[in-house]
């Protein structure tokens, strides 16, 4: 596909001159299929930032290297998460792989008050 952020042509010509109506993205931005520009930081984060889901296309995200700020790759190989999204009782991956194998004790609980005690189940 033209201007989808994936170099389909060996020479990369499918990604050249992708101004789509004069809308040229900055170097730190991703050109969505609907001509919007979104930060590269938001690509393959599991959220439809473009509005047409072109920043979350599975074929692209499988090849997408997870950035240092989002080092955890979900089992589905499509989403990169921040460390604080792991074991937070929210299925950020969509396949629950960020919540599998979580020791319940790792959840951040508030300290107990004087008249309280911590249960073992969470």
pLDDT, residue 89, reads 93
For residues 3-27, average pLDDT: 71
What pLDDT, in 10s, does the model give residues 19-63?
A: 554 457 888 899 999 989 999 889 999 999 999 999 999 899 988
CA-CA distance, 94 to 7, in Å (whole number)?
A: 27
Six token digits for residue 100: 């599998």
Domains located in the chain, CATH noted? 65-122 (4.10.400.10)
CA-CA distance, 87 to 46, in Å (whole number)?
A: 16
pLDDT, residue 7, reads 76
pLDDT, residue 22, reads 47
What pLDDT, in 10s, does the model give residues 51-100?
A: 999 999 989 998 888 989 999 999 988 899 999 999 999 999 989 999 99
**Which of the two residues, 73 and 119, has the higher pLDDT score?**
73
Q: Which of 71, 72, 80, 75 is nearest to 47 (CA)?
A: 80
């Amino acid at each position: 596909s033209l201007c989808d952020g994936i170099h389909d042509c060996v020479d990369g010509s499918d990604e050249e001159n992708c101004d789509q109506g004069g809308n040229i993205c900055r170097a730190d931005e991703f050109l969505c299929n609907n001509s919007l520009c979104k930060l590269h930081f938001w690509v393959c984060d599991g959220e439809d930032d473009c509005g047409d889901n072109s920043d979350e296309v599975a074929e692209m995200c499988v090849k997408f290297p997870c950035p240092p700020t989002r080092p955890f790759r979900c089992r589905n190989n499509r989403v990169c998460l921040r460390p604080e999204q792991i074991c937070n009782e929210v299925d950020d991956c969509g396949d629950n792989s960020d919540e599998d194998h979580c020791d319940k004790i790792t959840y951040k609980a508030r300290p107990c008050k004087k008249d309280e005690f911590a249960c073992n189940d969470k």
